Structure 1
Amino acid sequence: MKNIHSNPTPLRQKFIEYLTLNRKAERTVHCYVSFIYSLAKHYRRSPDLLSHEDIQHWLYHLIAERKQAPSTINLAINSVRSFYGKLLQQDIEPLLHRIKRPRRPARVPRVYSMAEIEKLLTVGTEGNLRARAFLSCVYGGGLRLSEATHIQIKDLDGARHRLVVSHPKGGRQRYTLLSDNLLTVLRDYYRQTRPKTFLFPGLEPLVPINKGTGQSIFYGAVAKAKLPDRGGIHCLRHSFATHCLENGIEITVVQRLLGHASLMTTAGYLHIRAERLAQIQSPLGLLDLKSPLLDR
């Protein structure tokens, strides 16, 4: 569903207002409304006229016939709970409790080493100060792409060495790091470009660059530095988290810097890079095993 606000029915408008008043992010509102729209379209009836058996069959259709990803199924279940359980005040939980939520397969985040990050930000951005400033913000603050594109001048607090993440996922503003190295790059960039509102404006000075441009900046730097692709610009956020933990920063601090609601999400970065593994010595290697074997 491209535009949930285009000629909405009274019921859809009521659902939009309910989600918005409950402080759901814009993307979440669009996602939940789209799922309920798809459910109604599947049966060609208004969703408030559907039975719980209808809802169960629709979820079965998504899982067994359309073979949707675990994340999609979880979003569909959340949408049903919000619409029927919260908005319409129906007792939907007995149905949802019979459906086992699929688990997303655990994946170890793909990250760059610190040497590769240094190469990306120097060789990869040579002669392009905007690229160096943008990618330094993404890595240096552990930012999501949309958070980096929406950085405003007023978000920079050089005196306290902190950056306000003013466009966060889920709407929860937070502070992250603003190091001396990043400040130096940003001051050079500011003197050269003089942005007015957004640190990285798009074609219009009062509009931020779009996410596609941000990804293009990243891929251009990766190609120029001749580095492997680790899965798009989001790997810089993964790298930031991993490097923080490897350098002894407490996991609860990293959680707040990343803006994770759950510590379990941050714990996903407690993996060991291959380069780091090569530096670690087994406890067996610390033992003196040169003494002769006992005679038999």
Structure 2
Amino acid sequence: MKNQHLIDEFKKYLQLAGMSPRTIRSYSKILKDYLNFVPDPYFATTQDLIDFALTKNSVSHRKQTQGVFKHFYRKIILKPKILTCLPKIKKQSKLPVILSEVEAHHVIAGLLNIKHRSILHLLYYGGMRISEVVNLKIFDINGKNNTVHIKNAKGAKDRVIPLPEETMDLLRAYYKKYKPKTYLFNSYIKNTKYSVKSIRKVVKKAVHLQGISKNITPHSLRHSRATHLLANGVDIKFIKQFLGHNSIKTTERYLHLTTTMLQDQITTADRFLKHKIETAA
């Protein structure tokens, strides 16, 4: 492929910069598409960069594309001036959809399959990302102190998080039944990990079984756990560490969710009080 040497150099730079394998794959794919989009990256203009970024449908993908441009033109092409007129993309501030504590409990408990229930336990009680769950290996679980070691997560970071006793008991029962060899959750193909697609289907099924109409994804369980911990008095700094966030600002969005929950409770209470007054009259 034309410009393959640039893609190879870019990958090596990202590896040296400590990027996670997942980030390297996604950034390299974006760069490959970009190099097919422009005749010559050395003679590209700022407008070429903007036109390519606009081929991405979501704000998050456009921001990711700008991240690729910054690394590529500063460190590989060595023409950073092309970036100076790029507009700053504002991130959409949509609050994530979450389950209530009761809904989360029923969604998880409603699954009879012990493997599927174990996965949901880690997504919710462990506050784990879906990629972290599929990449878990048997020896990442420490049964002596009830912790899980999450390795090479987002941002190429490791963290150790505690798990509830109930989750550990469930994982022990799952291990005895399924006897996984390498990955904690194997697929039907020997020695391969469970797929992200399969976990999404499990979550969708679990939510549907409870008659919940919210658009709940595996990441919604992580959001829900963080919100519930904050609402129950856990310090936001500990939640940041628990979730593996780089910045406290990322964690602070859960403050807005707890405020929304409070408003919902007050609104419900006010409606009940109004009905009570009207009935008494």
CA 188–31 in structure 1, closer or farther in 2 if over 3 Å, else same: closer
Q: Aligned-residue CA RMSD in angstroms?
A: 2.3
Shift of 1:67: 7.0
Identify the range of structure 1 (17-26 vs 70-79) with the bigger mean alpha-carbon deviation.
70-79
- Decide which of 234, 238, 253 is 1:253's aligned counterpart: 238
SS at 1:229 equivalent: coil
Identity, % of aligned positions:
26
CA 112–153 in structure 1, closer or farther in 2 if over 3 Å, else same: same
Aligned to 2:87: 100
Aligned to 1:81: 70
Aligned to 1:61: 51
SS at 2:125 equivalent: helix
What does 1:264-283 align with in structure 2 at a 5 Å threshold?
264-273=249-258, 275-279=261-265
Residue 118, structure 1, aligned to residue 114, structure 2: no
TM-score, normalization by structure 2? 0.85
Aligned to 1:21: 16
| 1:174-211 CA distance string (max 9 Å, x none) | 11221111112112212222222222111134211011
Residue 210, structure 1, aligned to residue 195, structure 2: yes
SS at 1:175 equivalent: strand
SS at 1:169 equivalent: coil
Shift of 1:76: 2.4
Gaps of 5+ in 1: 1-5, 282-296
SS at 2:65 equivalent: helix
* Larger CA Rg, structure 1 vs 2: 1
Gaps of 5+ in 2: 268-281
More helix by share: 2
Aligned to 1:184: 169
Shift of 1:280: 5.5
| 1:85-112 CA distance string (max 9 Å, x none) | 112333x1x4423222111210111110
What does 1:127-138 align with in structure 2 at a 5 Å threshold?
127-138=112-123
| 1:219-250 CA distance string (max 9 Å, x none) | 11112222223331110000011011111111
SS at 1:109 equivalent: coil
Amino acid paired to 2:168: L
CA 206–75 in structure 1, closer or farther in 2 if over 3 Å, else same: same
Determine if contact 1:251/1:267 at 8 Å carries over to the other structure: yes
State how far apart, in whole Å, the 2-side matches of 1:188 and 1:19 are: 40
Shift of 1:152: 1.5
